[in-house]
Amino acid sequence: MAVLRPSELRKMQKKDADKRLLELKLELAKIKGNVSMGASAQSPGRIKEIRRAIARIKTIETENKGKTTALAKRLVLKEKEKEK
């Protein structure tokens, strides 16, 4: 799997990003399980790459939540102004 770029993640639909996150977590668990049983990691750099991709996905999700929250706050303020 290729490295996930933030620009690619921002273009993804939420369900696609969630699916990708689940796939990455599963892959990381498999690799860590093999290493803990004594097998050497076939690609030690892959663990780091997966961890970073997971962090990127979570960061983008948090950014999107913040945008949604900020938008909701603005809408509430506009409604309050209209009521006055």
Which domain covers residue 44, as residue numbers?
Answer: 6-83
pTM, two decimal places: 0.74
pLDDT of the chain along its 84 residues, tens only?
567 788 888 888 889 989 999 999 999 999 999 888 988 878 889 999 999 999 999 999 888 888 878 777 888 888 888 876
Domain membership of residue 24 (yes or no) is yes
pLDDT value of position 2: 61
Which of 72, 71, 65 has its CA nearest to residue 17?
Answer: 65
Phi and psi at residue 43, to the nearest 5°:
-140, 95
pLDDT value of position 1: 53
Domain membership of residue 1 (yes or no) is no
Task: Give the separation between CA 7 and CA 28, rounded to whole angstroms.
Answer: 23
Q: What total of structural domains would you count in the chain?
A: 1
- Cβ atoms of 31 and 50 within 8 Å: the answer is yes
- Cβ atoms of 60 and 10 within 8 Å: the answer is yes
> For residue 67, what is the domain's CATH number?
1.10.287.310
Containing 7, the helix (H) or strand (E) segment is helix 6-11
